[in-house]
Amino acid sequence: MARLKPTIDQAGDRIPLLNTPVFLGHGVDDAIVDIELGRQAARVLNDVGLTVTSVEYSGAELDGHWFKEPEEMNDIAKFLEKSASGRS
């Protein structure tokens, strides 16, 4: 990852997506995508300098791959409002 960071830093001013905040919501009991993969994704995105909001959800152990409602939807709405207003 250390080798990638300077390249990302140099490109960041030219590539607007590198300045776009990221929301990652992941179920701790996800039967399709292991929670550790979500944690790794958050670490990698943080390591290259992106602003990441990562939230883990529990409570649907038997449902597999899911959206946590209403909590996750509320978190996404708050994230979008905050991002659109330019607040960190």
Convert the pLDDT of each residue in 7-17 to its tens digit: 555 655 556 66
CA dist., res. 52 & res. 31, Å (int): 23
Instruction: Give tens-digit pLDDT for 21-47.
Output: 999 999 998 888 999 999 999 999 999
Spell out the domain ranges in the chain. Answer: 58-88
| Amino acid code (one letter) for 34 | D
pLDDT band at 60 (very low <50, low <70, confident <90, very high): low
pLDDT above 70 covers a percentage of the chain that reads 73
Cβ contact 42:13 at 8 Å: no
Model pTM?
0.74
Q: What is the mean pLDDT of the chain?
A: 83
Task: Identify the pLDDT of residue 13.
Answer: 58
